[in-house]
Amino acid sequence: MALTSDDLIRRSASSVPAPATKLPEVAKLIDVSKCIGCKACQSACIEWNDLKPAVGENSGSYQNPPDLSPDTWTLMKFTEWDNPATGNLEWLIRKDGCMHCSDPGCLKACPAPGAIVQYSNGIVDFVHENCIGCGYCVKGCPFNIPRISKVDEKAYKCTLCSDRVSNGQGPACAKSCPTQAIVFGTKEDMKKHADKRIADLKSRGFAQAGLYDPAGVGGTHVMYVLHHADQPEIYAGLPKNPAISAVVEVWKGATKYAGLAVVGLAAAAGFVHHLVAGANRVTREDEENAAKLKEKA
Amino acid sequence: MTNSWTDIRNTDLVVIMGGNAAEAHPCGFKWVTEAKANRGAKLIVVDPRFTRSASVADLYAPIRQGSDIAFLMGVINYCISKDKVQWEYTKAFTNASYIVKEGFGYADGLFTGYDEGKRDYDRSSWDYEIGPDGFAVVDETLQHPRCVWNLLKAHVATYTPEMVERICGTPKDKFLKVCEMIAETSSPQKTMTSMYALGWTQHSKGSQNIRGMAMLQLILGNIGVRGGGMNALRGHSNIQGLTDIGLMSNLLPGYLNIPAEREKDFATYMSSRGFKPLRPGQMSYWQNYKKFFVSFQKAMWGAAATPENDFAYDWLPKLDVPAYDILRAFELMHQGKMNGYVCQGFNPLQSFPNKAKSIAALSKLKFLVVMDPLETETARFWENHGEYNDVDPSKIQTEVIQLPTTCFAEDEGSLTNSGRWIQWHWAAGTPPGEAKTDIWIMAQIHQRLKALYAKEGGAFADPILNLHWPYKNPADPTPEELAKELNGYAVEDIPDATDPTKVALAKGKQVVSFAALRDDGKTACGCWIYSGCFNEAGNNMARRDTSDPDDTGAYLKWSFAWPVNRRILYNRASADVQGKAWDPSRKLIEWDGSKWAGYDVPDIAPTAKPDTVMPFIMNPEGVSRLFTRGMMRDGPFPVHYEPFESPVTNVVAPKIRGNPVARLFKGDIEQFGTSAEFPYAATSYRLTEHFHFWTKHVSVNAALQPEFFVEISHELAKEKGIVNGGRVRVWSKRGSVKAKAVVTKRIKPLICDGKPVHVVGIPLHWGFTGAAKKGFGPNALTPFVGDANIETPEFKAFLVNIEPLAGPTV
Amino acid sequence: MNMDLSRRAFLRTAGAGLAGTSLGALGFGEVEEAHAAAIRPFKLAATTETRNTCTYCSVACGILLYSKGSLAKGEKAEIIHVEGDPDHPTNRGTLCPKGAALLDMVRAETRLQSPRIRKAGSDKFERISWDEALDRVVRHMKADRDANFVAKNKDGVTVNRWTTTGFLAASATTNETAFATYKVVRSAGILVFDNQARV
């Protein structure tokens, strides 16, 4: 069954024809105000995806493992915040992970054909056999999500459980979430659900409660209900106005002007090597140069 | 729990105090978030720490650990003084109007009858005045100065908001806000649920903490109603079941009692168990005690239990002390008075107080048997693990036999949850290696012991040789066979009561419920309260019908709840004296003119007239007790006593240390620390990432919370020069541990009686076996003293000191 | 195993959130076949599903154990995944961080495999057979019972108690195990008997 062209809307370093029929857009909604920080989502993600995070150490926080990694695709981040308006302590707990952007910076940055794909339902997925481990997706991501494995030099992140979704199941994290702070469905339904949650929060005195679905990346397929939607950055640095890095815009431009409908692996690798110093590092200089190039373009 | 997990959805107000449901019971806490999202319910959390439960609360109030009674009596005082009482409920369904005997009194923290030498009370004055008709005397006008209501009013008057702040460190404005929100539920159309756990039980006055809240819930009319109740969140998957089946020194299954040695024969034993009603027309359901007892004896000893030998009454061991609880057991072991110990699961080395004492005690045993699916520290108490277990194996003569058991995934049977639902499960996996089920192991021990006694003789072997063992394969009884015994069956044909020519229940058939049990030996029943779980209709514990008419949350066709599939205890109290629901939107059962009916199995005789028979059918009064008569060792009302190790003196009773009737062993008293030497108030607890000492064996949970730590405030950290993520030493009079420090805003110094009290939080999950990093846990530090009524160790409030350790931070 | 009810019962009623959305309509249809490269095979295909209850706390969440091989068919069965039972009225398919990782409790490296003995003064466990282990346990028990059983107290009252060996029951065994244990322990006259209710 030739469903590739039907369901893919984007493919890294390649072009795909517009799908004949689009699947309904899906979304995972994370209601931070209902979250109890129990890490069931982390646990379920590890088990479903057969991940093996290392046993680390306590570094003065409940946050463990300490960071996202090739074996940690989702992570609870804990912030102790004194609300200046009420004088009360608030323990803000946000589940971090891939946002599945409508306009995915990782995919746009990726030079390896078919290593990152986006389905018409909104899921952005990594195809590991096509991945060259260049790390450019890391730089392309406005949320700092993908991580490169030191074992196989491939990039890893949340798949939104594409294997479960394709079998009619919600993502493992949403299934497990004890308080159903994480729910999954069509993006439309999730927005309606969010409206109800926001109304409840406003009735409890959170006047700035709102939905996080940032326009700078075309909206996301992982959204948050925040009690303080006017200050997303207090939730462990959730960006207020995320946007794709200028470097990525240049790379996108380069391919376009080069007229490369399909970029070969070697060429892509070469280009990336030219742009980045290490496997997954973009220097400030690169960023500045790219910004200049962009201005000229 | 009086109610069930799914019933929490019906509440208007959740009070989490003495527990941390979001962390310890996340999937049960779901129903709190549902009540919040769908009913607009509010959540209050009262805790020394700002927990993950507090993170989603509408109101958080800090409290010093060990001061809950002052807080709760303060709330009752507020409700009484502001007239926020569900009066019709309180007058009709509690003993508020009962007159207490002349001579009862209370002063300086003590009730009448205290004997300092015995650390015990003569409780004879703690009772009702009995009239010439043999019934308790009441004054329905509540005017009599010695009626329970007036005694209660006087008792709680001490606990003003200012006094609560002095004792508890709870700022007055926060306390009053809590009071206001709770008081609103005195309306018959509002309910509050209390969710508590070991945060209330693990104190030297733990039982009275719970009574305090129960009394409050009664005067608010929140017991027996949907969305209300006293909800004890049990810590383990079947600790409810093990308690129900009486696996304790002083119990028989179904909360019957093991005889004391003063009850020299069956007649004496029964003489104090008549349970004659204390008010006219009351059910006093314990009047059926003898039926349950005799049926149990028949389950134990079958044909060998006869009317002639008093159903083998003599074969039950008789107690010479109130109980052989775990603390007494380890004290006896420590004194060298025990030789053998069998741990079927459990991990006492990590779980019991004063680890140094536990190691010394286990070292004096001749043999220790450990049955477990996993390695435990207890099984390896003799092994040297450096500073984590610094022992010399060559000096320990205890023989240890370790037996591998199956786990949940490899066995079949039932577990009883907190809400009393008894749920059946099936085996799915092949056990690892040579692991065997606990049933097989227990059967093997019995069969082999019996064979030895049959062959060699020995000390009184009759109870072993005659133990009723009717299983198809005596070497391996099936779970179904055992479940059917728990349910009960006819030992011989039981004639129909109305027509003796007919048989009501044929020999060998399962009884339908405990209503069919008899005191003549014609029925056998392992645990009367479980009767109905596996009757002739089949295995009711395996039922999986999810229907729930009108979404009440009862799920009557899902599994089986004890007793008789009842989902909310005391549910007759959900209706007023005429039998109409207090809140029509939360109807549970109602009187239809001839009988009780509704969404739940009525907790009353179906035809019991509503204005005559009162809802608390297990009490001879028929009503609930604000004043508990002599039922509790430490008083008919709760009194604020400080923990045995407290950072402050008791401001309401300065001369009293700890609970005045808590049992103390000599060596342990010497090991209590004072605030001069150990200035900080410590408490121990669970974290959501781990389950007790088990999940440190699970790689995933080990990664989610890898290392032992303690939590302190920024203020204490600054005072002691401790940095976040740095290493610290924490020590008490009994031991010392090393840990990482988590410096947090979630713990703040409490101002108690004008002086700051710093809290040190110590989570418990680490040890020297498993996948997580090796760690100490809190029980090297905790004191060896228990609750005055049931001996739960005082793990939640003790004293420590803390200092930074040199060495690299993270 | 009483599986007559659809386990989607709660997905339809959606009482506990939005699990009720008809996910089949959102998925990729059969796209996984064409995109085998991108989407890994569904790991629960061709597994046996067994209903069980979480072994940890007293919420008693319903769980589904997925195994390769089926005990019901008399096969060796290896559990490969654990998930919440969506039909369970309490947990509605959800699980906490402990429950969600039950698989790694079942297959923990520190699961005990065979009976072992640590002899007096030794610094190690040694493997023994079940027969040896059980005979030893029973020998110890009988010797202690025979030496220390108290048939009558000093007042001549029959007390039939044995207090020099204790038995500590746990917290996660079944009610049926509990009752078998009760019978065996009490018939021996043991009074030092407790469980994990308090700690």
C76 touches chain B (CB under 8 A): yes
Q: Per the CB < 8 Å rule, is B725 touching A36? A: no
| Domain co-membership, C134 together with C154 | no
Nearest to C199 among B245, B352, B544 (CB): B352
3-state secondary structure A152-168: CCCEECCCCCHHHHCCC
Q: Does residue C2 belong to any structural domain of this protein?
A: no
Residue contact B326–C198, C-beta within 8 A? yes
CATH number, residue C68: 2.20.25.90
Q: What is the pLDDT of residue A250?
A: 66
What is the token pair recorded at B687?
């974290």
pLDDT value of residue A266: 37
Nearest partner of B151 among B125, B114, B181, B186, judged by Cα: B125
Q: Find the mean pLDDT for residues B574-591.
A: 98
Answer for the pair B32, B58: CB distance below 8 angstroms, yes or no. no
Q: What is the mean pLDDT of residues B56-67?
A: 98
| pLDDT value of position A285 | 54
Please give the share of chain B, as a percent, with pLDDT higher than 70: 100
Contact A184 C93 (CB under 8 A): no
Q: Which one-letter amino acid corresponds to residue B440?
A: W
pLDDT at A278 over 50: no
Last residue of a domain, one of C53, C87, C106: C106
Distances (CA, A) of B492 to B180, B469, B484, B520: 60, 17, 16, 11
Distance from the Cα of B802 to chain C's closest Cα (Å) equals: 25
CB pairs under 8 A between A and B: 124
Kind of pairing, strands C116-118 and B251-252? unpaired
Distance (Å, whole) CA A276 – CA A278: 6
CB contact at 8 A, B488 and B510: yes
Give the mean pLDDT of chain A: 86
Residues B633-674 have pLDDT tens digits of: 999 999 999 999 999 999 999 999 999 999 999 999 999 999
| Confidence label for A282 from pLDDT (cuts 50, 70 and 90) | very low
pLDDT above 80: residue C114: yes
Alpha-carbon distance of B556 to B533, in angstroms, equals: 13
* B143 touches C: beta carbon within 8 Å: no
Per-residue pLDDT tens digits for C134-177: 999 999 999 999 999 999 999 999 999 999 999 999 899 999 99
pLDDT band at residue A277 using 50, 70 and 90 as cut-offs: very low
Please check whether residue C138 lies inside any domain of the structure: yes
Among A37, A58, A200, beta carbon nearest to B740: A58
Asked whether the beta carbons of residue A64 and residue B705 sit closer than 8 angstroms, the reply is yes
Q: Which domain holds residue C99?
A: 9-106
* pLDDT at residue A290 in the model: 52
Residues C15 and C95 in one domain: yes
Report how far residue A118's alpha carbon sits from residue A111's, in angstroms, rounded to the nearest whole number. Answer: 15
What does the alpha-carbon distance between residue C61 and residue C90 come to, in Å, rounded to a whole number? 7
End-to-end CA distance of chain A: 41
**3-class DSSP string for chain C:** CCCCCCCCHHHHHCCCCCCCCCHHHCCCCCHHHHCCCCCCCCCCCCCEEEEEECCCCCCCCEEEEEEECCCCCCCCCEEEEEEECCCCCCCCCCCCCCHHHCHHHHCCCCECCCCEEECCCCCCCEECCHHHHHHHHHHHHHHHHHHHCEEECCCCCEEEEECCEEEECCCCCCHHHHHHHHHHHHHCCECCEECCCCC
Chain A interface disruption, residue of B8, B36, B704, most A CBs within 10 A:
B704
Q: Which chains have 3 or more CB–CB distances shorter than 8 Å to chain B?
A: A, C
Please tell me whether residues C101 and C118 are part of one structural domain.
Answer: no
Q: Inter-chain contact A178–C95, Cβ cutoff 8 Å?
A: yes
Assess whether C13 and C99 both reside in one domain.
Answer: yes
Residue identified by tokens 């499960």 is: B425
Tokens 């409660």 belong to: A209
What distance, in Å, lies between the first and last C-alpha atoms of chain C? 34
Do B707 and B761 meet the contact criterion of CB atoms below 8 Å apart?
no
Decide if pLDDT at C11 tops 50.
no
Q: Which residues of B627-644 are buried (b: 16+ CB within 10 A; e: fewer)?
A: bbbeebbbbbbbbbbbbb
As a dihedral over the C-alpha atoms of residue B700, residue B704, residue B710, residue B715, rounded to 10 degrees, the angle is: 180
Tell me the sheet residues that pair with B524: B489
Q: Establish if B702 touches chain A: CB-CB under 8 angstroms.
A: yes
Please check the confidence at residue A61 and state whether its pLDDT lies above 70: yes
Q: What is the pTM of this model?
A: 0.94
Provide, rounded to the nearest whole percent, the portion of chain B with pLDDT above 90: 99
Q: A205: nearest CA in chain B?
A: B58
Over residues C123-130, the mean pLDDT reads: 98
By CA distance, what is A193's nearest residue in B?
B37
pLDDT tens figures, B768-797:
999 999 999 999 999 999 999 999 999 999
* Neighboring chain A residues of B810 at a CB cutoff of 8 Å: 57-60
Share of chain C above pLDDT 90, in %: 76
Could you tell me if residue C1 is inside a domain? Answer: no
Residues in contact with B132: Cβ distance below 8 Å, sequence separation at least 6, in sequence order: none
Window 75-114 of B: residues touching A by CB (8 A cutoff) are none
Contact C101 B407 (CB under 8 A): no
Round to whole Å and give the CA distance between B688 and C97. 7
Q: Do A57 and B740 touch (CB under 8 A)?
A: yes
Provide the token pair at B506.
């044929």
* B279-313 residue pLDDT tens: 999 999 999 999 999 999 999 999 999 999 999 99
Q: Give bridge partners of residue C79 from the DSSP assignment.
A: C67
Place of tokens 């200012």: B162
Are both C25 and C82 inside the same structural domain? yes
pLDDT digit string (tens) for C59-80?
999 999 999 999 999 999 999 9
- Which domains are delineated in chain B? 5-232 (3.40.228.10), 326-438 (3.40.50.740), 439-475 (no CATH), 666-804 (2.40.40.20)
Q: What is the pLDDT of residue C7?
A: 41
Strand partners, A78: A93
CA distance B324 to B618: 26
pLDDT digits (tens, 9 = 90+) for A204-236: 999 999 999 999 999 999 999 999 999 999 999
- The answer to whether the Cβ–Cβ distance between C26 and A185 falls below 8 Å is yes
Whether A163 and C38 lie within 8 Å, measured CB to CB: no
Q: Are residues C16 and C102 in the same domain?
A: yes
pLDDT band of residue B809 (cuts 50, 70, 90) is: low
If asked whether residues C17 and C46 sit together in one domain, one would say yes
C-alpha A13: how far from its chain's center?
19
C4 within some domain: no
Among A176, A179, A190, most C C-beta atoms within 10 A, so best to mutate, is: A176
pLDDT at A2: 26
- What's the confidence (pLDDT) of residue A275? 38
CB contact under 8 A, B438 and C173: yes
Based on the fold, state whether residues C48 and C63 are members of the same structural domain: yes
Shared domain for C93 and C120, answered yes or no, is no
Residue type at B714 in one-letter notation: H
* Angle, CA A69 vertex, CA A66 and CA A75 arms, to 5°: 55
What confidence score (pLDDT) does residue A287 get? 54
**Among candidate residues B664, B681, B663, the one with its CA nearest the CA of residue B673:** B681
Do C62 and C124 fall into the same domain?
no
Nearest-CA neighbor of C186 among B790, B437, B252?
B252
Q: Has residue C3 been placed in a domain?
A: no
For residue range B348-387, list pLDDT tens digits in order: 999 999 999 999 999 999 999 999 999 999 999 999 999 9
Query: Residue B21: which region, alpha, beta or left (left: phi > 0; alpha: psi -120 to 50)?
Result: alpha
Q: What is the pLDDT, as a whole number, of residue A245?
A: 81
Backbone angles phi, psi at B67, to 5 degrees: -120, 20
Put simply, the chain C residues between 27 and 56 with a CB less than 8 A from any chain B CB are: 48, 50-56
What's the rounded Cα separation, in Å, for the pair A51 and A106? 22
Q: Which of B283-287, C1-5, C43-47 has the lowest mean pLDDT?
A: C1-5
Same domain, C49 and C99: yes
In a domain, C28, yes or no: yes
- Angle, CA B235 vertex, CA C90 and CA A79 arms, to 5°: 80
Q: Where are the beta strands (DSSP E) in B18-73?
A: 42-46, 59-61
Q: Using a pLDDT cut of 90, give the percent of chain A over it.
A: 74
Residue C187 has pLDDT above 80, yes or no: yes
Tell me the pLDDT tens digit for each residue of B315-344: 999 999 999 999 999 999 999 999 999 999
Which residues of chain B are within 8 Å of residue A55 when distances are taken between CB atoms? 699, 702-703, 706, 771-773
- In a domain, residue C38? The reply is yes
- Residue C31 pLDDT class (50, 70, 90 cuts): very low
Domain count for chain C, please give it. Answer: 3
Nearest C-alpha neighbor of B488 from the set B541, B540, B527: B527
C30 touches chain A (CB under 8 A): yes
pLDDT value, residue B614: 98
The model's pLDDT over A74-115, given as tens digits with 9 standing for 90+, comes to 999 999 999 999 999 999 999 999 999 999 999 999 999 999
Asked whether the predicted pLDDT for residue B88 surpasses 70, the reply is yes
Closest to B305 measured CA to CA, from C180, C183, C175: C183
d(CA A46, CA B9) in angstroms, rounded, equals: 31
Residue C140 lies inside a defined structural domain of this protein: yes
Which residues of chain C does B314 touch, with a Cβ-Cβ cutoff of 8 Å? 158, 160
pLDDT of residue C32: 39
Render the burial of A191-212: b for 16+ CB within 10 Å, e for the rest.
bebbeebbebbeeeebeebbbb
**C93 and C46, same structural domain?**
yes
**C106, C132, C187, C190, best to mutate vs chain B, most B CBs in 10 Å:** C187
pLDDT tens digit sequence for A180-206: 999 999 999 999 999 999 999 999 999
Residue B671's CB: how many other CB atoms inside 10 A? 18
